[in-house]
């Protein structure tokens, strides 16, 4: 039944009735789409703290309850019972696959993992010391120059192929960026091992010897991918949506998402967090860093703490912490100084009045860095791994948006604070 409720806005004594809409979960929204036409005013919400930007049926977060649902399924159940490619199918198509559907999907993704051989030359154009995220932004953007047959966004079949290519090739691209940075030969993907194991192999194998992927590490890698797969309208996803709203091709739009993810307030936090733990160095220096985080005049923040939406706990962090324990146990890592600092920092921050009052809890990036470090990844690879996992989220949200007949180019307004009209002044008169 159509929602007939309205919200009334009074401006200078004149009332405007604004339609309200109810979601299946989460707060109601006031639709202000016609406000400017009716009242000649804009709304103002930098950072989108109270503004919904689209209709979406993919992912739902309840920040107060610490709940994350993909197509209705809780993330902890997916992390425990499912695996990354099944979650990819769920995000892309809306339902869990039957066994035949899953088999076909896995076969399709596996058989798209190789990249065009000429793209190898593209990697070689970068400096060896380039950050792998810089390389990924370039190479993923360049996919539009290699896969012309999947750039027409108006063709549903081309959109489908582009989605599969992006999910399949992203681990290959991330692993190649890493291999290039350490001067080792690229390792081609294999069709006889799964997505996560393939990624570990492409990162850590060398042609000189056999490489066997440890199943516990492959499972941990798969879980990291699953936990990062989608997170509704976060900064990088909103970037992908905004870029695609102009009709730009999917590879260019996902490259824009990767660029946004790189920042330390978003996906770059996992690298920044581990670097912070190393900088703290020993547990006796923790109070100094806690004081800095609380000091209003110091821009320093405890990386891996806090979240725009989660104000209770980050459900991904809960699973990630358990996974970190399993991996460290397997690898026999107990007295690593970074780990000791992490454990003590977590304990102190969770008891500290400042962090309790501001609802700052360890987020997913706090624990993922610890696992990836233990697996042997350098910190510069942490954010590329996040990008590999988030690709399915970007792609699913992109597909949802493009298929929406109500699609409009995204074009925010502004509250202008600059000079009003003035006449040009000749240079000799300035």
Distance CA 214, CA 200 (A): 9
- Work out which of 11, 25, 114, 265 binds ligand CMC, going by CB under 6 A: 265
- Work out which of 84, 122, 305, 394 binds ligand CMC, going by CB under 6 A: 305
- Work out which of 132, 141, 171, 267 binds ligand CMC, going by CB under 6 A: 267
Residue 304 CB, shortest distance to ligand CMC, in Å, is: 5
- Work out which of 83, 179, 307, 399 binds ligand CMC, going by CB under 6 A: 307
Q: What are phi and psi of 153, to 5 degrees?
A: -70, -15
Choices 58-66, 151-159, 264-272, 401-409 (CB under 6 A): range interacting with ligand CMC = 264-272
- Give whichever of 115 and 256 is closer to ligand CMC, judged by the CB atom: 256
Q: Which of 70, 83, 228, 307 is catalytic?
A: 307
Interface with ligand CMC (CB under 6 A), residue total 19
Instruction: Kindly state whether residue 232 participates in binding ligand CMC, applying the rule CB under 6 A.
Output: no
- Give whichever of 168 and 293 is closer to ligand CMC, judged by the CB atom: 293
Instruction: Kindly state whether residue 356 participates in binding ligand CMC, applying the rule CB under 6 A.
Output: no
Residue 59 CB, shortest distance to ligand CMC, in Å, is: 12
**Whose CA is closest to 235, among 259, 212, 270, 218?**
259
Distance CA 306, CA 139 (A): 32
- Give whichever of 302 and 402 is closer to ligand CMC, judged by the CB atom: 302
Residue 6 CB, shortest distance to ligand CMC, in Å, is: 30
Instruction: Kindly state whether residue 234 participates in binding ligand CMC, applying the rule CB under 6 A.
Output: yes
231 is catalytic: no
**Whose CA is closest to 134, among 258, 272, 279, 299?**
258
Contacts with 141 (C-beta within 8 Å, 6 or more apart), sequence order: 251, 252, 255
Distance CA 176, CA 142 (A): 15
Q: Which residue is nearest to ligand CMC (CB)?
A: 306
Q: Which of 222, 230, 365, 373 is catalytic?
A: 365
365 is catalytic: yes
Instruction: Kindly state whether residue 385 participates in binding ligand CMC, applying the rule CB under 6 A.
Output: no
Residue 278 CB, shortest distance to ligand CMC, in Å, is: 16
Q: Judge contact between 259 and 136, C-beta under 8 A.
A: no
Give the number of C-alpha atoms closer than 13 A to the C-alpha of residue 203, restricted to the C-beta side.
25
Instruction: Kindly state whether residue 79 participates in binding ligand CMC, applying the rule CB under 6 A.
Output: no
Residue 232 CB, shortest distance to ligand CMC, in Å, is: 10
Instruction: Kindly state whether residue 56 participates in binding ligand CMC, applying the rule CB under 6 A.
Output: no
- Give whichever of 97 and 267 is closer to ligand CMC, judged by the CB atom: 267
Residue 397 CB, shortest distance to ligand CMC, in Å, is: 15
- Give whichever of 165 and 266 is closer to ligand CMC, judged by the CB atom: 266
Residues near ligand CMC (CB under 6 A) are: 234, 265-267, 269, 293, 301-308, 358, 360, 363-365
Catalytic residues: 307, 365
């Amino acid at each position: 039944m159509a929602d007939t409720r309205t919200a009334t806005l009074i401006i200078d004594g004149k009332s405007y009735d604004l339609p309200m809409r109810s979601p299946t979960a989460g707060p109601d929204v006031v639709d202000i789409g016609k406000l400017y036409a009716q009242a000649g005013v804009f709304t103002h919400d930098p950072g989108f703290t109270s503004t919904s930007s689209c209709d979406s049926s993919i992912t739902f977060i309840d920040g107060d309850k610490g709940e994350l649902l993909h197509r209705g399924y809780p993330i902890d159940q997916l992390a425990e019972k499912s695996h990354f490619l099944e979650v990819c199918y769920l995000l892309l198509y809306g339902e869990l696959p039957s066994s035949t559907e899953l088999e076909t999907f896995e076969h399709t993704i596996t058989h798209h993992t190789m990249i065009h051989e000429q793209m190898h030359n593209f990697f070689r154009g970068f400096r060896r010391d380039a950050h792998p995220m810089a390389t990924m932004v370039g190479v993923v953007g360049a996919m539009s120059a290699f896969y012309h047959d999947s750039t027409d966004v108006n063709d549903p079949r081309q959109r489908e192929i582009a989605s599969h290519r992006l999910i399949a090739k992203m681990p290959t691209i991330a692993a190649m960026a890493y291999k290039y940075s350490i001067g080792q030969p690229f390792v081609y993907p294999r069709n006889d091992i799964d997505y996560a194991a393939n990624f570990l192999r492409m990162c850590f194998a060398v042609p000189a010897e056999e490489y066997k992927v440890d199943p516990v590490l492959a499972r941990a890698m798969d879980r990291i991918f699953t936990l990062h797969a989608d997170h509704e309208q976060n900064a990088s996803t909103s970037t992908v949506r905004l870029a695609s709203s102009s009709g730009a091709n999917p590879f260019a739009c996902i490259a824009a998402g990767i660029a946004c993810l790189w920042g330390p307030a978003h996906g770059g936090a996992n690298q920044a967090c581990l670097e912070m733990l190393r900088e703290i160095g020993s547990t006796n220096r923790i109070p100094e860093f806690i004081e800095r985080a609380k000091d209003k005049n110091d821009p320093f923040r405890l990386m891996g703490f806090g979240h725009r939406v989660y104000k209770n706990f980050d459900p991904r962090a809960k699973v990630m912490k358990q996974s970190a324990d399993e991996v460290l146990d397997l690898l026999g890592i107990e007295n690593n100084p970074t780990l000791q600092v992490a454990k003590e920092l977590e304990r102190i921050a969770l008891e500290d009045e400042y962090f309790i009052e501001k609802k700052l809890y360890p987020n997913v990036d706090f624990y993922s860095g610890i696992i990836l470090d233990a697996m042997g990844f350098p910190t510069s690879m942490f954010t590329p791994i996040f990008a590999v996992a988030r690709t399915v989220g970007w792609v699913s949200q992109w597909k949802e948006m493009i298929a929406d007949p109500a699609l409009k180019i995204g074009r925010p307004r502004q509250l202008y604070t600059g000079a009003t009209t003035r006449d040009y002044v000749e240079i000799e008169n300035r």
